[in-house]
Amino acid sequence: MKDISRNALNLFLGLILAGFVSTNHASAADGKTVFKQNCAVCHALTDQKLTGPGLKGIADRAPKGDWLFNWVKNNEKVIKSGDAYANNIFHANGNMAMTVFEGTLSDDDIKAVIGFILNPPVEQKAAPTVATAGATDSSANQEEGVNPLYILLASVVILAILIGILRGIRISLQRVTLEKEGEAVPETVSFFQECINWLSNHRRFMAVCIIIIASVLGKMSWNALFRVGVYYDWQTDKGYHPEQPIKFSHKIHAGDNAIACQYCHNSVEKSRHAGIPTVNVCMNCHKGIQEGPTTGTKEIAKIYAAAGFDPKTGTYNESNQNPIQWVKVHNLPDLVYFNHSQHVVVGKVDCAKCHGDVKTMTTVEQRSPLTMKWCIECHRKTEVAMDGNPYYERLHDALKEKYKGQHLKAFTVAQMGGIECGKCHY
């Protein structure tokens, strides 16, 4: 905390060295690197206060000249000299000392970071693609499409009209033929009664149709019941992918920034549950990181709302704190016992084995079916990492004795009893 405050004040005063910008021998890219490594944790380029004050308008608030440069290099020396402005800054930041950068940052580094803060490079953003009116209408029609129910209803209506017309033609032709031959014309019956008469005269055909339809429906029912409770699309191999209250990107956190899974899911090595991170875990980083690379401040503001945190003042309001309602993605039935610590610590199973390559996902989705068949197949194929694992020493010796005639070099979970019903259902 002490180093962070020092860093903040160093940056605060160093920014005011506008006179040195003109003689800056380092590039803006170098200044950006120095800023990120030494200053970004305490300072924002806006007027928001983090650990230290915001840097917007810093050149207009502080004295000009060599004094500020000397302050950045060794603020303690300037404070001890009795300088009024230096002491005001020191007291305004809770009398917490800044880091002394003399010997750490060169003169060119200081000038470069000042140049970056006063004139940060403008990042070029790709211009949005403007579609023509015709293309817009076409894409809109393709996205909206036609409701299949309307197509079905229209088909039924057309078929009914066609059947009615053909039936009327048939009856008229039969009537004309019978009258021409001098035979009696039978009384016209309704369409419903005609259908009943036809079915009664074709019973064997109807019996075969009923057997086929019953078989198809039975198979469809079996498939539906077989997958009850499994949030998984077997045709596309895509699983449950819900919307989350905050657009948290695993790709940015676990992939780009290489944050270990255990940092947020900190009970995965100690409990049967991996654990859902609390807002406090998010605030460990986002008290200082207030803007994301893709969503800006919008989604991080939701974290602040849950924590009751005011980013401008850096204070918490305990009466206005609410937990984040994350949506659970991977669900197992209550009748199944699954222990994360047993698999991760003892079994040394990598998280991606069950959850997929989360480092490439934006929002997490279910990548494995998590069915009983899937678990059993894994237990039958997965070899247990016994070497150097004290948990398995006695068990390893017992398995060698049990399978000594088979000359096995490795053992699977199934050979250890991993497919016994009582292991997962008790």
Bridge-partner residues for 296, per DSSP?
292
| Residue 138, pLDDT score | 42
Give the separation between CA 62 and CA 67, rounded to whole angstroms: 10
| Residue 237, pLDDT score | 64
Q: Please, are residues 52 and 92 in contact by the beta-carbon 8 Å criterion?
A: no
Where do the structural domains in the chain lie, given as residue ranges? 2-118, 157-233, 250-372, 373-426
**pLDDT tens-digit readout, 76-122:** 887 888 888 778 878 877 777 777 777 777 888 877 877 777 777 66
DSSP-based three-state secondary structure for 124: coil
Give the separation between CA 290 and CA 286, rounded to whole angstroms: 6
DSSP-based three-state secondary structure for 43: strand
Query: What is the CATH number that goes with domain 2-118?
Result: 1.10.760.10
Give the separation between CA 93 and CA 7, rounded to whole angstroms: 12
Instruction: Give me 377's structure tokens.
Output: 């197949």
Q: Please, are residues 44 and 15 in contact by the beta-carbon 8 Å criterion?
A: no
- State which amino acid sits at residue 163: I
| Residue 124, pLDDT score | 56
Give this prediction's pTM: 0.50
Residues 6+ apart with CB under 8 A from 412: 379, 380, 381, 382, 383, 384, 418
| Residue 9, pLDDT score | 47
Bridge-partner residues for 309, per DSSP?
316
Residue that the structure tokens 């016209």 belong to: 188
Q: Tell me the CB-side half-sphere exposure of residue 135, using CA atoms within 13 A.
A: 4
User: Which residues of 151-284 form beta strands (DSSP E)?
Assistant: 232-233, 238-239
Of 46, 47, 62, 50, nearest in space to 4 by CA: 50
Tens-of-pLDDT digits for all 426 residues of the chain? Answer: 444 444 444 444 444 443 333 334 445 557 777 777 677 666 767 776 666 677 777 777 777 777 767 777 777 887 888 888 778 878 877 777 777 777 777 888 877 877 777 777 665 554 544 444 344 444 444 445 577 788 888 898 999 899 888 888 888 888 888 888 888 877 777 888 888 888 888 889 999 999 999 999 998 888 776 655 556 666 666 788 889 999 999 999 999 888 888 889 989 999 999 988 889 999 988 988 888 888 888 999 999 999 999 988 888 998 888 889 999 999 888 899 999 998 998 888 999 999 999 999 998 998 888 888 899 999 999 888 777 777 777 777 787 788 777 777 778 888 888 899 998 997
Distance, CA of 370 to chain centre: 19
Give the separation between CA 253 and CA 300, rounded to whole angstroms: 13
Q: Please, are residues 304 and 315 in contact by the beta-carbon 8 Å criterion?
A: no
| Residue 228, pLDDT score | 57
Bridge-partner residues for 233, per DSSP?
238
Alpha-carbon dihedral 199, 203, 205, 208, rounded to 10 degrees? 120
Q: Which phi and psi (to 5°) does residue 422 adopt?
A: -70, -10
Give the separation between CA 95 and CA 89, rounded to whole angstroms: 9
Start-to-end CA span in the chain (Å)? 50
- 232-233 vs 238-239, strand pairing mode: antiparallel
Q: For 252, which DSSP code?
A: I
Bridge-partner residues for 315, per DSSP?
310
